[in-house]
Amino acid sequence: MYYGELSGLKLGAATRDAFGDALKELGAKHPEVVVVDADVGNSTRTEPFMKAFPERSFNVGIAESNMVSVASGLASCGKTAVCSSFATFLLSNAFDQLRMSVAFPKMNVKFVGSHSGISIGEDGPSQMGIEDVSLACSLPGVKVIVPSDAVQTAAATAAMLAEHGPIYLRTGRSKVAILYPNGCDFQIGKAIQLRDGSDVTIIANGLMVAAAVDAATELAKAGVSARVLDMHTVKPVDEEAIVKAARETQRIVVVEEHLMHGGLGSVVATVVSRTVPVPMAYVNVGDCFAESGDPQGLLDKYGLNPAAIVAAVKSVMG
Amino acid sequence: MAVSIEELQAKAKQLRKHIIRMTTAAGSGHPSSSLSAVEMITALYFGGFMKYRPQEPQWPSRDRFILSKGHAVPALYAAMAEAGYFTVEATMSLRKLGSVFEGHPNMARMPGIEASTGSLGQGLSIGLGQALGLRLDKLDSRVFVMTGDGELDEGQVWEAAAAAGKFKPGNLTLIVDQNGYQQTGATKDVLDMRPIADKFAAFGWHTQVVNGNCQANAFAALTIATNIKDRPTCIVSQTQKGFGILPLLEAEGDLNYHGKPLSAALAEKAIAFLGS
Ligand SMILES: Cc1ncc(C[n+]2csc(CCOP(=O)(O)OP(=O)(O)O)c2C)c(N)n1
Ligand SMILES: [Mg+2]
């Protein structure tokens, strides 16, 4: 079983793999792109680039703080510096470096966090990035992208490299359903409506978009018309799409593989509360650390599945 | 040698006066941390070791100076003013609302500042990234980084030291301003990182230990460092915090004098003490 299967979607590559392949391909066209990694290139998937372009690649060892500031120095010399680690090590271990060396001087650094969410499974909570989006969003001027499938991840990687300035890209370890056709349109900050609906809008990103589509499929059977928005950019968030959804569907459910505080749910709620206040519900990891286990077992246990989304929708339907 | 040691000494004296005036006018800041670094900064900016264009601060071929111990930025503003980036008068707005002369270096607001610092420990990593970037572009430019001795407590410095040992940028020079004090006391009491040169040497760096408040020694050390092109170089610059006005600080009973400006009366005395 995988999210999206119920809705007839095919299983595709993990977003980390799509990022790695796209990075290598784009690297050939863009000599200004350099990569700094901290001994996890074969996990974050910067490895294909690093093998193809060794002179532009720097493995600094298990030293995330140094990695981020080195990327900043490279960026200040005109490079497009990509650095990556597990989302939690990148954001938590090197947060001050992201703040001082990257965000504050507005450096052209793209920081990519893999192993996001609890769906990494067996390795357990020490490796799970579930606070990363909140931390990244707190950095002034930093854009935050959480792509939902392999196709979108490739497009997001290209868009990110084409844009000047600091950007956080969050990728995942598990294979995810293909939601988009090749060559689909992708713009940073522009949400994508996957399903139209009139009773409720489910706003999701990352792995949970396919789960939201499945939830909408289930809800349709019960006569509930759910709109699904892929909010791949958490910052700057697509306010227009949120306001439109609030106005037209009157109810919003926000779904993410992240802690409850400071993620997509908080960002959407901030927009809704000051524009078109409507009932909202949230599906997320809550306020806790998860545990080791098989990915699907964890997602079910921590309430990150279509059934949980359906239940949240019912809670706002009253 | 285009410039004489005497001329550099005269310049250093000017810098010291600017530092004292600036921080006393601001009513806050770190004059003693700035004063210890003056001879090295003077040698860098006026001894011919750095190529730069005040009228074109982003000139790609320039050499770069990163003040990782960002709280000593009055010394940098003073040097940049003397170099012609802006007037000395302008620096007197230090730390005032609306002034670009912020309390710590902010490259986003001031061209010629090569890194935004103030959170100690990051400058060497940034300098390493710049040295690697310049090397990739085959530019004959050097990156100079200055840290404090207390700053060496930060683990990131050693991540950078090790990585520089690996990538061997021959265009990276670190100056450790070893003034013997940090915020809450003497470095030997707070966290003794000595022997400093031995640690960098162990990571494959070229090292020197010099009297960094001796203008001739500072000049000689930079001459040696800038002639080494096959590995990173570290100058352990042994200095005194507040150098130049030490007897006055001693009379105040505080040889660290960390993070406080001189009173107007003391500043006046200090400037007179420095002489013309
Ligand atoms: C990461 C970080 N921690 C703490 C401080 C506060 N702080 C400012 S200066 C200083 C002491 C620095 O000592 P040293 O590096 O020896 O510089 P000196 O003032 O002696 O030149 C401290 C702890 C800081 N700026 N950054
Ligand atoms: Mg010190």
Which residue do the tokens 């003794």 mark?
A: B192
Cα gap A70→A66, rounded to integer Å: 6
Find out whether the peptide bond into A236 is cis, omega within 30 degrees of 0.
yes
Among the partner residues A74, A96, A105, nearest to B129 by beta-carbon distance: A74
Helical H segments across chain A, by residue range: 15-29, 41-44, 47-52, 64-76, 87-88, 95-97, 132-137, 150-162, 208-221, 239-249, 264-274, 295-301, 306-317
Select from B57, B187, B31, B155 the least CA-distant residue to B113: B57
Token readout for B234 is 């570290």
Task: Give the alpha-carbon dihedral of B253, B259, B265, B268, to 10 degrees.
Answer: 110
Which is it for the CA torsion A179, A184, A188, A189, positive or negative? Answer: negative
Measured from the CA of B118, which atom of ligand 1 is nearest? 25
* All CATH 3.40.50.970 domain ranges in chain A, comma separated: 5-177
CB of B240 closer than 8 Å to CB of B213 = yes
Instruction: Using DSSP bridges, classify how beta strands A175-177 and A11-14 pair: parallel, antiparallel or unpaired.
Output: antiparallel
Distance B188 CA to ligand 1 centre (A): 15
- DSSP 3-state assignment of B269? helix
CB of B229 closer than 8 Å to CB of B171 = yes
* Assembly ipTM: 0.95
Strand partners, B181: B186
Query: For position B1, what pLDDT does the model report?
Result: 56
CB of B102 closer than 8 Å to CB of B46 = no
Cα gap A137→B20, rounded to integer Å: 40
Q: For the domain covering A192-317, report its CATH number.
A: 3.40.50.920
- DSSP 3-state assignment of A277? coil
Cross-chain residue pair A100–B118, CB shorter than 8 Å: yes
* Count of residues making up chain B: 276
Check: CATH 3.40.366.10 for B5-274?
no
A318 pLDDT tier (thresholds 50, 70, 90): confident
- DSSP 3-state assignment of A11? strand
Cross-chain residue pair B106–A55, CB shorter than 8 Å: no
CB of B22 closer than 8 Å to CB of B74 = yes
Report which residue type is found at A68: V
| Per-residue model confidence as pLDDT tens digits over A118-131 | 999 999 999 999 99
Cross-chain residue pair B125–A96, CB shorter than 8 Å: no
Ligand 1: residues within 6 Å at CB?
B 30, 33, 36, 69, 71-72, 118-121, 148-151, 177, 179, 181-183, 241, 258
> What DSSP element (H or E) covers A192?
strand A192-195
| Interaxial angle between packed helices A239-249 and A264-274, expressed in degrees from 0 to 180 and rounded to the nearest 10 | 70
Catalytic residue list of A: 64
Select from A202, A120, A115, A185 the least CA-distant residue to A151: A185
Cross-chain residue pair A70–B162, CB shorter than 8 Å: no
Token readout for A221 is 């059977």
* All CATH 3.40.50.920 domain ranges in chain A, comma separated: 192-317
Cross-chain residue pair A75–B132, CB shorter than 8 Å: no
Which amino acid residue places its CA nearest to atom 18 of ligand 1?
A: B33
| Per-residue model confidence as pLDDT tens digits over A20-61 | 999 999 999 999 999 999 999 999 999 999 999 999 999 999
* Count of residues making up chain A: 318
Say yes or no: B145 contacts chain A, CB-CB below 8 A: no
Residues 6+ apart with CB under 8 A from A40: A84, A85, A86, A89, A114
Output the CA–CA distances (angstroms, integers) from residue B33 to A214, B40, B147, B271, in the order listed. 62, 13, 11, 17
CB of B242 closer than 8 Å to CB of B257 = yes
Measured from the CA of B151, which atom of ligand 1 is nearest? 15
List the shell of residues around ion ligand 2, using CB closer than 5 Å. B 148-150, 179, 181-182
Give me the half-sphere count of Cα atoms (radius 13 Å) on the Cβ side of residue B74.
Answer: 33
Cα gap A143→A188, rounded to integer Å: 9
| Per-residue model confidence as pLDDT tens digits over A231-274 | 999 999 999 999 999 999 999 999 999 999 999 999 999 999 99
Query: For position B2, what pLDDT does the model report?
Result: 82
CB of A37 closer than 8 Å to CB of A59 = yes
| Interaxial angle between packed helices B73-83 and B38-46, expressed in degrees from 0 to 180 and rounded to the nearest 10 | 30
Say yes or no: A108 contacts chain B, CB-CB below 8 A: no
Query: For position B103, what pLDDT does the model report?
Result: 98
Cα gap B75→B30, rounded to integer Å: 10
Smallest CA–CA distance from B138 into chain A, residue: A77
Select from B109, B127, B99, B110 the least CA-distant residue to B57: B110
Give me the half-sphere count of Cα atoms (radius 13 Å) on the Cβ side of residue B63.
Answer: 17
Query: For position A309, what pLDDT does the model report?
Result: 98
Say yes or no: A105 contacts chain B, CB-CB below 8 A: yes
Query: Which chain A residues touch B159 with a CB distance below 8 Å?
Result: 60-61, 63, 65-66
How confident is the prediction along chain B (276 residues), in pLDDT tens digits per residue?
589 999 999 999 999 999 999 999 999 999 999 999 999 999 999 999 999 999 999 999 999 999 999 999 999 999 999 999 999 999 999 999 999 999 999 999 999 999 999 999 999 999 999 999 999 999 999 999 999 999 999 999 999 999 999 999 999 999 999 999 999 999 999 999 999 999 999 999 999 999 999 999 999 999 999 999 999 999 999 999 999 999 999 999 999 999 999 999 999 999 999 998
Residue extents of the structural domains in chain B: 5-274
Strand partners, B209: B236
Measured from the CA of B177, which atom of ligand 1 is nearest? 21
Say yes or no: B127 contacts chain A, CB-CB below 8 A: yes
Best A56, A62, A68, A69 member to test B by mutation, with max B CBs in 10 Å, is: A69
Cα gap B1→B24, rounded to integer Å: 36
CATH of range A5-177; options 3.40.50.150, 3.30.420.40, 3.40.50.970, 3.40.50.300: 3.40.50.970
CB of A135 closer than 8 Å to CB of A113 = no
